Structure 1
Amino acid sequence: MKNILVPTDFTGTSDLALAWAKFIAKQYIHDGLETTLVLAHVTQPYIPDTTLPTGEVGAGILAAQEMEDVGELNLHEMAEQLEREGFTTRIETRFGSIDGEIVEVADELKPDLIVMGRSHIDTFFDWLAGSSAADVAMTAHCPVLVVPTLEHGQSHPVRLQNIAYATQLEFDENHILRPVVNLVRTFNSNLRLVKIKALNQPNVYDDRQYLDQIESEFGRERFVEDTVNADNVTEGLTKYIKTNQIDLLIMATRERDFLSKLLNPSLTKRMVLSSDVPVLVYHAEEK
């Protein structure tokens, strides 16, 4: 893993994401791979209030410039601290919308992974609006690890003992499982393939067909297969995570048109917004 992109707004939520990025980077560095932590900060543009006098609008623009300068200074200080800890760093400062600029940085630098924090969601309106982390996870062209901040600023322990991969067993997933299995091997983790059987989920093909395909490439000893009955996938995965002490949930998302996104929000995005454990999102290309 050469580059890990870590967007930060210098809050506790970003600190949790950085802790996970450091944990992952340390393992790859220990294995002899050069890994750079790319620290990114986005300053959002000032939106003037047309009811204010012109002078106050100008003051707002100056304040936005000062915030940009402060952000760059904080990034340099963070990078210096990480380098004292033995990490290689790079900084990127941008101006614009948070999710749009982060995806643009990722498109330019092509990191192996983005690690972002997700703040605690208190209300229905928070859920409806989503979060920058969820938006990046759905649109970036590389894997995205979303680390949630729980109620009262609590967090899940930074560890990778038990990893769950959510599967429908309705299509060929070996191309997605390859990096998943590599991750499991790198961290010597336990992998569980979890299928949630719910009334609103397709169940067209025999599960054994795809399980045999998976086992033929990766070996039977690499994972445990679990099937869970639930009213819906989100409920089933949430209960499974708690019952089995899962440290990381991995899900795949597919490109969908605007109408399907509007009428049927992504199950992956729902879990990114609701999970109490970090969610790693892979983007599955249509084969």
Structure 2
Amino acid sequence: MKNILVPTDFTGTSDLALAWAKFLAKQYIQDGLETTLVLTHVTQPFIPDTTLPTGEVGAGIMAAQELEDVGDLNLQELAEQLQKEGFQTRIETRFGAIDDEIVEVADEVKPDLIVMGRSHVDTFFDWLAGSSAADVAMTAHCPVLVVPTLDHGRSHPVRLATVAYATQLEFDENHILRPVIQLARAFQSTLRLVKIKAVNQPNVYDDRQYLDQIETEFGRDRFVEDTVNADNVTEGLSKYIAAHQVDLLVMATRKRDFLSRLLNPSLTKRMVLNSDVPVLVYHAEENY
């Protein structure tokens, strides 16, 4: 990987995402690749309180400017610390809506991966933070790794012993599996292809058709095939992850054409918001 974009708000949630970014970067640096951590902080604009006197608006704008200055300083300090640890860094600061600005930075920098933290979805404000991560995952034009913070500040261990790739075996996914298999090979991970058989999911094509296609390109020894029966896909994946001690869930999302509407693309967003393990999102229409 040449560039890994790491948005941060300097909280524990962002620290967990940074830990994953460093973990990934170290592996690629060891493999002789020059990997840069692109650190990004977004300051949100001041929204005037219409119940306050007019004169208070200026004070709010000044406070927003101070927050932006503090963010710039914190970002610089973080970059310097990472440089001392041996990482190459780059800084990008923005002012605006979090998800929009992160996607804009990604369009400019063109990273190989975005790594974002997601708050434990417990309060309304945590939901907003989690939603920003999910929105970036669904709209960015590159893979996005969303790292959850669990309740009481708990986190999943930073490791890649087992990677699960969720598939319905209903369309050609080899272009997504290529980088996933490369990732599993780089970290010597066990890769499991997981199909959830649920009532609300279509089963139009014979699974063997796409499994043969996958095995022809990658070989049978690259992965383990598992099929799980469940009431719904979210429940099935969650139970599977817990039972197999999965470290990373990989999912693909598609544009809303007829087939993708059948496949319910909002499933990926639901897993990003609710999964207890990091979720790596690919876009099936992209050519990785």
Same fold judged by TM-score > 0.5? yes
Structure 2 SS opposite 1:37: strand
Alignment of 1:78-227 (within 5 A): 78-122=78-122, 131-227=131-227
Superposition deviation, residue 286 in structure 1: 7.8
Asked if structure 1 preserves the Cα contact closer than 8 Å seen for 2:253 and 2:265, the reply is no
Structure 2 CA distance, aligned partners of 1:244 and 1:106? Answer: 33
Partner of 1:56: 56
Cα pair distance change 1:274/1:42, threshold 3 Å = same
- Letter matched to residue 52 of structure 1: L
Cα pair distance change 1:97/1:152, threshold 3 Å = same
Structure 2 CA distance, aligned partners of 1:67 and 1:18? Answer: 21
Alignment of 1:251 with 2:235, yes or no, is no
Superposition deviation, residue 53 in structure 1: 1.3
Superposition deviation, residue 256 in structure 1: 2.0
Q: Unaligned regions of 5+ residues in structure 1, if any? A: none
Superposition deviation, residue 122 in structure 1: 1.3
Alignment of 1:268 with 2:262, yes or no, is no
- Letter matched to residue 240 of structure 2: Y
Structure 1 SS opposite 2:245: coil
Partner of 1:42: 42
Cα pair distance change 1:101/1:33, threshold 3 Å = same
- Letter matched to residue 232 of structure 1: N
Structure 1 CA distance, aligned partners of 2:209 and 2:175? Answer: 16
Alignment of 1:284 with 2:284, yes or no, is yes
Cα deviation 1:75-112 (Å, max 9, x = unaligned): 00000000000000000100000000000000001000
Partner of 2:240: 240
Asked if structure 2 preserves the Cα contact closer than 8 Å seen for 1:82 and 1:89, the reply is yes
Cα pair distance change 1:128/1:44, threshold 3 Å = closer
Superposition deviation, residue 124 in structure 1: 8.0
Structure 2 CA distance, aligned partners of 1:273 and 1:143? Answer: 16
Partner of 1:14: 14
Q: Unaligned regions of 5+ residues in structure 2, if any? A: none
Structure 1 SS opposite 2:34: coil
- Letter matched to residue 18 of structure 2: L
Cα deviation 1:122-159 (Å, max 9, x = unaligned): 15896599511001000000000000000000000000
Asked if structure 1 preserves the Cα contact closer than 8 Å seen for 2:119 and 2:130, the reply is no
- Letter matched to residue 253 of structure 1: T
TM-score, with length taken from structure 1: 0.95
Asked if structure 2 preserves the Cα contact closer than 8 Å seen for 1:254 and 1:286, the reply is no
Superposition deviation, residue 205 in structure 1: 0.9
Cα pair distance change 1:42/1:126, threshold 3 Å = closer
Structure 2 CA distance, aligned partners of 1:83 and 1:174? Answer: 37
Structure 1 CA distance, aligned partners of 2:127 and 2:13? Answer: 17
Over 4 Å off, 4+ runs: 123-130
TM-score, with length taken from structure 2: 0.95
Partner of 2:67: 67
